[in-house]
Chains A and B, each alone.
Chain A
């Protein structure tokens, strides 16, 4: 009790934001270990939802009107539209019940923890300079980006790799919110548009991949190497 009271009291806003940040990190780790494609998409939708709630909390406590709009678009795109598109795709491609064999989940998790430590060290000098109430979460934002990157490296299938890419974008969005209360609106809208276009184009592309290789397993894609032509 005495040690607890020695800590400076954190305002409610910071506590809530920290809670959201820890949920982000938790979901990022869950995605790293998730084998089922369907569950992976649900996790992605949850990550979007946490992102939107975080946006709302920051908007409420700082009075940045633009962030309400960001939260609205985040819900629209990352919680509703993209998961729907992804679910539609895996149903069409008939890979709904696919279970990926991930080698060595414990090692991946350990690597993830190392990345988190690294991310906090990287964020330290930046967050000291940021004047936002959310600056403490910048380390987590970078960690989410790095964990998504790790996920992309460890996956051998096309759809999970794309989800990894989208999770990375979520992390970057989170970083923008915690370092600067979000980018200017026009830029943010542009980024969301790019993400949407990207997923739609890849949706078309998946069908081409399957047509050419009879599967969405990327192990078939190792022809273009330097030595063997």
Chain B
């Protein structure tokens, strides 16, 4: 049947959420979580193969749409969700052994994890800009109770901040969507079809430019809050630092990408309607502000998860900047950067998760000598940090190099700002991680052996992307870059 892969990709996490809501507190639930995530990954891989062989896909009365731009994000989301579920198994069992969570909360955790994956995939796969908004808001709601899973005052405060800031932010995006519908209705007529992206994309030249430029301001503010763009990023470090580490990994690695994806989809429409670089300029502005804020706040952090959270803001800023610049090279680089950032940052959070669990603290000055007590965690964190800081030959170097060289040619004013920020981030992060990895320590072993395979699988992929990009992936990126413009 046409689009059955889409049904499987969405159905696997949805069915998993129901199953885990019923049995999520059993001893084998975390294993079930891994299996469900694996099925989602298999379904998304089948979907990707189909898109590779047959091109863009519209299914179920145009309700779902897959093209080269979102198919790589679907696969990436399913992949990182799968590896995170592998990492999460021993991690959450250790947390339970330490008495930080009960089995009832574990059930909530497993169920919401799958709901979260489902909503993210729905944002990516839906063709309807209204449903996209609904799914993104649902993703926020699913993670509120996950951020506060430990029920400590700090985690509750973080979850409250996350809920209020993201909901208010995303309410702006709803207003933007209403304005978009107002413009669309004039051209496409009322009813359900007027918000379908593919339909809008065909008539984007006829959409009312004044309304669309106003709509884009609201949309970028709204979805930008989810993507962690400064100055709307305040929720992000708190939510990352106080929630369980697997959630930090998926928030940083996946949710931020999803927010940015929504912005880019809107940008395509607005560019078509306006014929001016207005949307791009706005994105470059938000992007560069995020890079600067991320880098400078990063250097002041004491908590290891907060530090890496600010690094995510910095990288999302860089990606937004690249999308804003536009053109085939910058867009290609932006998509590559999205991919390698997701892989690297989640790998880092896996390593950090085990490190903080071992030492029982997130304060960087109390974590020392990981290389002695557990060489794999230590190396994972060191290599991950080198990768995220853009050292060759990792993939982040390739994407940052492309972004910076394009910026020097097309936006020369921005290049020095970006370079200084990257240098500040490098100096701050490298010295701290070095102390954590190579310092002197006395540590003890964990009751459940950590799952470190995901860390090295991710880093190996990032290394591979730095040295050699598979031709079909490069084709996707190129096709998507042409689409986005």
Please report A residues at the B interface, Cβ cutoff 8 Å. Answer: 125-126, 129-131, 145, 149, 152, 158, 161, 165, 168-169, 172, 175-176, 179-181, 183-187, 190-191, 193-194, 197-198, 201-202, 204-205, 208-209, 211-213, 218, 220-221, 223-224, 226, 229
Contacts of B181 in A (CB 8 A): 176, 179-180, 183-184
Please tell me which one of the listed residues B144, B152, B178, B303 contacts residue A180 in the complex, with CB atoms under 8 A apart.
B178
- A interface footprint on B140-181 (CB within 8 Å = 1, 0 otherwise): 010011001001111011111101100110010011011101
Contacts of A187 in B (CB 8 A): 128, 130-131, 133-134, 177, 195
Contact sample, A vs B, 23 pairs, CB 8 Å cutoff: A129-B182, A145-B175, A165-B164, A168-B168, A172-B175, A172-B178, A175-B175, A176-B178, A179-B178, A179-B182, A180-B182, A187-B130, A187-B195, A191-B133, A194-B141, A197-B138, A198-B167, A201-B145, A208-B156, A212-B151, A224-B158, A224-B242, A226-B300
Q: How far is the CB of A39 from chain B (nearest CB, A)?
A: 22
Q: Which of B135, B153, B183, B191 has the largest count of A CB atoms less than 10 A from its CB?
A: B153
Q: Are B156 and A213 in contact (CB under 8 A)?
A: yes
Q: Are A211 and B178 in contact (CB under 8 A)?
A: no
- A interface footprint on B226-261 (CB within 8 Å = 1, 0 otherwise): 000000000000100010000000000000000000
A204 to B194, CA, bound (A): 37
* Chain A interface, >50% SS class: helix
B31 within 8 A of A: no
Please tell me which one of the listed residues B135, B164, B208 contacts residue A161 in the complex, with CB atoms under 8 A apart.
B164
A180 to B141, CA, bound (A): 27
Please report B residues at the A interface, Cβ cutoff 8 Å. Answer: 128, 130-131, 133-135, 137-138, 141, 144-145, 148, 151-154, 156-161, 163-164, 167-168, 171, 174-175, 177-179, 181-183, 185-186, 190-192, 194-195, 208, 210-211, 214, 238, 242, 297, 300, 302-303
Question: Can you name the residue of chain A whose Cβ is closest to the Cβ of B158?
Answer: A224
Q: How far is the CB of B105 from chain A (nearest CB, A)?
A: 11
Q: Are A229 and B157 in contact (CB under 8 A)?
A: no
Q: Are B211 and A180 in contact (CB under 8 A)?
A: no
Please tell me which one of the listed residues B160, B171, B210, B300 contacts residue A169 in the complex, with CB atoms under 8 A apart.
B171
Please tell me which one of the listed residues B130, B138, B145, B238 contacts residue A184 in the complex, with CB atoms under 8 A apart.
B130
Q: How far is the CB of A98 from chain B (nearest CB, A)?
A: 18
Q: Are A190 and B168 in contact (CB under 8 A)?
A: no
A70 to B92, CA, bound (A): 43
A99 to B229, CA, bound (A): 37
Q: Are B145 and A205 in contact (CB under 8 A)?
A: yes
Contacts of B148 in A (CB 8 A): 205, 208
Please tell me which one of the listed residues A165, A202, A211, A212 contacts residue B168 in the complex, with CB atoms under 8 A apart.
A165
Q: Are A180 and B190 in contact (CB under 8 A)?
A: yes
Q: Which of B161, B190, B195 has the largest count of A CB atoms less than 10 A from its CB?
A: B190
Question: Can you name the residue of chain B whose Cβ is closest to the Cβ of A194?
Answer: B137
Q: Are A197 and B182 in contact (CB under 8 A)?
A: no
Q: How far is the CB of A89 from chain B (nearest CB, A)?
A: 15
What 3 A-B pairs are tightest by C-beta distance, nearest first? A187-B130, A190-B134, A184-B192
Contacts of A211 in B (CB 8 A): 151
Q: Are B174 and A213 in contact (CB under 8 A)?
A: no
Q: Are A205 and B159 in contact (CB under 8 A)?
A: yes
Question: Can you name the residue of chain A whose Cβ is closest to the Cβ of B115?
Answer: A197
A83 to B175, CA, bound (A): 24
A193 to B178, CA, bound (A): 18
A179 to B214, CA, bound (A): 14
Q: Are B208 and A129 in contact (CB under 8 A)?
A: yes
